[in-house]
Amino acid sequence: MSDQGLLTRRRAIAMIGAAAAGALLWPRKAETAIDTRFKFAQGTVFEDQSGDGRRSPGDRGLAGIMVSNGTDIVTTDEDGRWSLRVRNGDSLFVITPPQWTSATRHRAAFSYLYQPDGTPAALQLRSPSLNPTGELPASIDFPLMRQPQPRCFEALLFADTQAADAKELGYVREVLLSATAQTDAAFAINHGDVMADDLTLFPEYLRILRETGMAWHHCPGNHDMNLDAINPRYAFEAWKRFIGPTNYAFQYAGATFILLNNVDYFGCGAATAGGRAYRGRIGNNQLQFVANVLRNVSPEALVVVSMHIPLASFDDPDSASDSTVDRGAFLELLSNRPHTVSFSGHSHTTEHHYFGPREGFCRDVPHHHHVLTAACGSWWSGPRCARRSDRRQSGWNAERVPCSVGRRKLLHDALRSVRRGDGPGGAHSHARRGRAGTA
């Protein structure tokens, strides 16, 4: 398929919001009120000695563990107990501490979704949605298992795997299996646009992840949304069903990883002047979440933040759909910390940004924001042996966290990329690169 053909296909969906409001009268009748009433959930965090995900006699409660609803954070008491307010649609999750893992023998059990009635039927979503979760159980218990974690470790970073159909998902499988076979990385993070709008592919994608044998973390992208949701409140129903919370955090060794959803959808039928019905925005609730995480983390610890839409874009600096409108508030939260770095995807370019006082990061050493290479290149176009177009190669990144973050935040000179083909635009490029189409 030609680049122009791909552009037409991607733009056709991205520009749904460009239709006139009068042509979309039927969905307007499907809007539902947002339930802002809070209930209180409670439970325990315990050491799962058997690894079966269930609390057995002798499994002790763990004190001082962070539990969150995506905004607020509490820590467990001496018996591992916690209590936290929760609203319809919230995910409750444990922030896995260093030297522990939430992965039991059977599944990762770090979160619980509270959406008692599921996705409102009145929305008439054609994309995958949520079944009712029922009322809150008497106790929501999170199992943790001990996991030795070296101070020096490697993490694989992906963005924009963006499979549009089963064939392209096969390409994703090739890349992921190849990447994970070449490394002893502790885990991987996919920075969104996991899919290219066909959310029915999520189950097969998860099967591929299990095949890699590696722990995976995710933050959502604009192509991972329920695009037919009129109410933006329900834009990530499929994501919550198949992947999990849209924002969360975890700790590994001496580092804290925060994953955010900065895709702010306006809803089906809405549009910006550029034809895309979303913007890059973290929002007050997630900014509060970041602040709350940081209050519970040592000032000298390394903090790594992942999101989909870049904090800023070389390609189109004035586009609200290609940068994050509240990046100043986000950078201000990180300003009192000497060891921070952030990553994103979205633009199918590789960019390195260094933010200082003018952007809100008030330290002598600027904050490094890395826009990652797109795993799909130009949406898996080009010769089969290359999986790319002439404009944008596919690839992935491996970041090594050093034993002492006091010397360096991340060893970017150790950054590796798997390159497909021999065209221009490799993953180490610091220069501005043209974007092949609309992300």
- Report d(CA 391, CA 3) in Å as an integer: 10
- pLDDT reading at 29 higher than 50: no
Instruction: Round to the nearest angstrom and report the end-to-end CA distance of the chain.
Output: 17
Q: What is the mean pLDDT of residues 318-330?
A: 94
The answer to whether the CB of 33 falls within 8 A of the CB of 130 is: no
- Report d(CA 266, CA 233) in Å as an integer: 9
Type of residue numbered 437: G
Tokens representing 313 are 């874009």
Type of residue numbered 368: H
Q: Tell me the longest C-alpha to C-alpha distance in the chain.
A: 63
Q: What is the mean pLDDT of residues 301-305?
A: 96
- pLDDT reading at 6 higher than 60: no
Greater confidence (3 vs 375) lies with: 375
Tell me the CATH class for 38-144.
mainly beta
Q: What is the mean pLDDT of residues 145-149?
A: 94
Closest by alpha carbon to 188, among 253, 100, 257, 111?
257
To 10 degrees, what angle do helices 202-212 and 166-181 make?
20
Mean pLDDT for the chain? 81
- Report d(CA 195, CA 58) in Å as an integer: 43
- pLDDT reading at 372 higher than 90: yes
Question: pTM to 2 decimals?
Answer: 0.84
Which CATH superfamily does the domain covering 3-18+149-417 fall into? Metallo-dependent phosphatases (3.60.21.10)
- Report d(CA 431, CA 203) in Å as an integer: 37
Residue whose token pair is 């959310």: 199
- pLDDT reading at 342 higher than 90: yes
- pLDDT reading at 127 higher than 70: yes
Question: What are residue 171's phi and psi, to 5 degrees?
Answer: -65, -40
Closest by alpha carbon to 189, among 257, 122, 241?
257
Length of the chain: 439
Categorize the per-residue pLDDT at 382 as very low, low, confident or very high, splitting at 50, 70 and 90. Answer: low
pLDDT of the residue at 430: 31
Q: Name, of 96-105, 118-127, 171-180, 193-202, the range with top average pLDDT.
A: 193-202
The answer to whether the CB of 281 falls within 8 A of the CB of 324 is: yes
Strands 367-371 and 340-344: parallel
pLDDT in tens, 353-367: 999 999 999 999 999
Task: Give the Å distances, CA to CA, from 261 to 173, 222, 280.
Answer: 24, 10, 9
pLDDT in tens, 221-277: 999 999 999 999 999 999 999 999 999 999 999 899 999 999 999 999 887 656 789
- pLDDT reading at 421 higher than 50: no
Using a 10 angstrom Cβ sphere, with 0-12 exposed, 13-18 middle and 19 or more buried, the burial of residue 167 is exposed
The answer to whether the CB of 68 falls within 8 A of the CB of 41 is: no
The answer to whether the CB of 229 falls within 8 A of the CB of 34 is: no
The answer to whether the CB of 69 falls within 8 A of the CB of 222 is: no
Q: Strand ranges (DSSP E) for 372-433?
A: 397-401, 416-417
Closest by alpha carbon to 67, among 90, 38, 51?
90
Per-domain residue ranges of the chain? 3-18+149-417, 38-144
